[in-house]
Amino acid sequence: MNSACGLLIQPAGFTIDRATIYLKRKTMPRTVTTILNDVFGYDTFRGNQQEIIDHLIAGQHSLVLMPTGGGKSLCYQIPAMVRQGTGLVVSPLIALMQDQVGALRQVGVQAACLNSSLPIEEFREVEKQLECGELDLVYLAPERLLQPATLELLDRCELSLVAIDEAHCISRWGHDFRPEYLLLDTLRDRWPELPMLACTATADQRTRREIVDKLRLGDGRTFITGFDRPNICYRVTTKVNERQQILDFIRSEHLGDAGIVYCLSRKRTEKFAEFLSSHGIPALPYHAGLPARVRQKNQERFLVEDGLIMVATIAFGMGIDKPDVRFVAHMDLPKSIEAYYQETGRAGRDGLPANAWMAYGMQDVIMQARLAENSEADEQFKRSERQKLDTMLGYCETVSCRRQLLLEYFGESLDERCGNCDTCLEPVDTFDGTEAAQKLLSCIVRTGQRFGALYIIDVLRGSESERVLRFGHDQLSTYGIGTELDVWQWRSVIRQLVTRGILAVDLEGYGGLRLTSAARSVLKGETELHLRKETAMIARPSKPKKKKATAATLLDTGTEEEFTANQALFENLRELRRTIATEQEVPPYVIFHDKTLVALALHRPVDGADFLTISGVGQTKLERYGERFLAAIRENS
C-alpha cells in the first residue's frame, strides 16, 4: 500500500494545480457549517463539537475528552481549515497519521505528514507545501516535531493552531505513557499566540490534571463530552476452556466480522491466531516481536480486507481508525480500566452495535500483579498500579451494571441500568457467602498461608491427591468441609475475596494465598458477605438476548422481497467500494463507511442532489464517486 502521506496525490482521474489551491485557500470564505456539510457530508454537529470548534477558532486553549468514534478529529480539523495558516497535529504513531491523512484527502482536504516512512523526495515536497501555505493540516510525531530542523522549518511557516492527539500519552499515570510528550510544553513558549487543543478518549481525573498542568492549559477550558459508548455491549466471563470459548463466541455471533483479540504475551497472540485460522476463521498475529515488514503487512490486510481478525498485544490499536470492528475480545485481564476502555473503544466506531467480550481467571490477576510489582518504577507508581488492578478486578466481579461502574470510574453517572451488558441482560444471582468465606479463610490459615487457589480448593473438597496426602492436610479439620460448592464456585469466591481485599496473593513465591487484616471480622462473623453465584454453566459464553444488529438487520425494513433487494444492492455497493479502494490503494472505509452504504441501499438516490442528502457524502465525494455509485444503484433498481 502506498503511503497516505506526502505529495498531494489525488485519486485516479483528479489533478491539482498548486497555484489554484493556493489562490482558493486565500480567497474562498470557509465557514464551520459549509465545511461540515460540503466537505465532510454531515448535516449537524454531535454533542459539544461546535462549541469546541468555535472556542478554538477564537484562539483559546482547550482539553477535549470525547469517546472513541465521537468525532474528536473534527474539533481541530475544521478550525484548521477556517483559521489562516496550517494546523499542526501531534500524533504518536505513523499508522494513525496515515489513516487520518488518507481520510482527509478523500474529502478534498489538503493534508500531509512528515515522518520517517516518506521517501526523501516526498519529504522535501511536503516541506515546500508547508512553506507555500498549501496545507490545511500537517501531522508529526513528537520526536520529529521537536527536532531543531523541524522547528526551524515551522518557524518559517504560517501556523493556525496546535492539536495534541492522544494527549493521555503525556501522563506517567496513563497506560500509553510517551516520555517525548513531556517536552511539548515548549511549544507554548515558541508559538505563544497559537491556540492549543489537547484531546483524548480516556483519562481519569488525575490524568486530566496532569495534561492541563504539563501543557500549561490552565487558562483554557476542559470539554467532556462523555465516556459512554451505548452501542457496545460489555460482557465478562471466567476462563473454562479459553480456546473453545473464543471460538464459540466468534462462530455464534461474529462469523465474517472484523474483530480484535487481545492477549497479554507475544506467544499467546501467535497461538490464538494459529488456532482460529486452523478452524476456518481468518486471523493474523500482531506484536512488537514480529519483523516490522510483517507487522506492517498484517496491519494493512486488517484495514483493507473484510472479516479479518487481528490477534494482538496492546502494541496494536492506537493507530487504527477502522470503523467496522464489530468486536474486541480480551483473553487476558487488562491492567487497568483506562486500558480496557481504550482497547474496547476500538469496536463499533461507526456507531453500529458491537461487543466487548473478556475471559479472565485468577492466574491473570497474579500475572498482572507481578508485572506491576517487578517493574522498576518507584513505590508511588507501583501503589497506583495496584489500585488500578483492584478496580479492574472489581469491574470483572461486579453484580451491578458494568456500564454504570465504568462511567463512575471516569466521574460520570448513569441513573438507570444500561440494559446492554451481561449483568443487565442476564442478572447475576447472589448468595450469602459468609460461611463459605469462613471455611476458605480457615483452610488457608491451617495450611500455612503458602498454597495457591487450586490446592486450597482440593483440601476444601476433600481431594485424595498425592500432594494433599503427602502434606498430611487430609488430617486437618477443614479437609472436605467445602463439598457444597463446585470448583468453579470456589474459584469465584476466592477471586471475590481478593477483589474485596480480604485475601492477598504472594507475588514473590508461587501465588500463595494469605489473609489480610480485613479477614479478621469475616472469621469472627462481624461482616456479612453477599457474593455472586457462579457455576461452570455461567462461566461459559452466553448468547446475547438482544437481536444481533448488523448491516443486514438495518436493511430489513420491509417485506422479505424488499430485504432481499436491499441486501443485494448493499453487497454490490460494497463490491464497488472495494474495487475503488483497490484502485486507489486505500482502505475501503475511507471511501464510504458501511452506514453510508446502508443509507444508499435504503434510499436509492437518483441524482447528485439526492446523493448529497446521504450522511457521509460531501461535495468532493459526490464529484469523485457519485456517478459510479448512482450507476450501480440504477442497475439494481
Least confident of 114-118, 422-426, 471-475: 114-118
pLDDT digits (tens, 9 = 90+) for 320-364: 778 889 999 999 999 889 889 989 999 998 888 999 999 998 888
Task: Tell me the pLDDT of the chain averaged across its residues.
Answer: 87
Q: What is the pLDDT of residue 27?
A: 44
Share of the chain above pLDDT 70, in %: 90
Q: Which domains does the chain have, with CATH numbers?
A: 18-224 (3.40.50.300), 232-381+406-425 (3.40.50.300), 430-532 (1.10.10.10), 551-635 (1.10.150.80)
CB 162 within 8 A of CB 88: yes
Does 564 score more than 90 pLDDT? no
Strands (E), 36-169: 62-65, 86-90, 111-114, 137-140, 159-164
Question: In which band, very low, low, confident or very high, does the pLDDT at 436 lie, cut at 50, 70 and 90?
Answer: very high
pLDDT, mean of residues 90-95? 85
pLDDT, mean of residues 79-102? 90
- How many CA atoms lie less than 13 Å away from 189 in the CB half-sphere? 6
CB 91 within 8 A of CB 166: yes
How are strands ordered across the β-sheet holding 309-312? 232-238, 354-360, 325-330, 258-262, 309-312, 283-286
Least confident of 26-30, 130-134, 533-537: 26-30
pLDDT, mean of residues 411-415? 89
Q: How far, in Å, CA of 568 to CA of 129, rounded?
A: 44
Q: What is the pLDDT of residue 351?
A: 85
Question: In which band, very low, low, confident or very high, does the pLDDT at 97 lie, cut at 50, 70 and 90?
Answer: confident
Does 8 score more than 60 pLDDT? no
Does 419 score more than 90 pLDDT? yes
Cell numbers describing residue 224:
467532556
Q: How far, in Å, CA of 142 to CA of 177, rounded?
A: 13
Q: How far, in Å, CA of 414 to CA of 554, rounded?
A: 27
Least confident of 119-133, 174-188, 282-296, 609-623: 174-188
SS3 for 278-345 is HCCCCEEEECCCCCHHHHHHHHHHHHHCCCCEEEECCCCCCCCCCCCEEEEEECCCCCCHHHHHHHHC
pLDDT digits (tens, 9 = 90+) for 140-196: 999 999 999 999 999 999 999 999 998 988 887 555 678 888 899 999 999 999 999
Cell numbers describing residue 329:
475480545
pLDDT digits (tens, 9 = 90+) for 455-501: 999 999 999 999 999 999 999 999 999 999 998 889 889 988 987 88
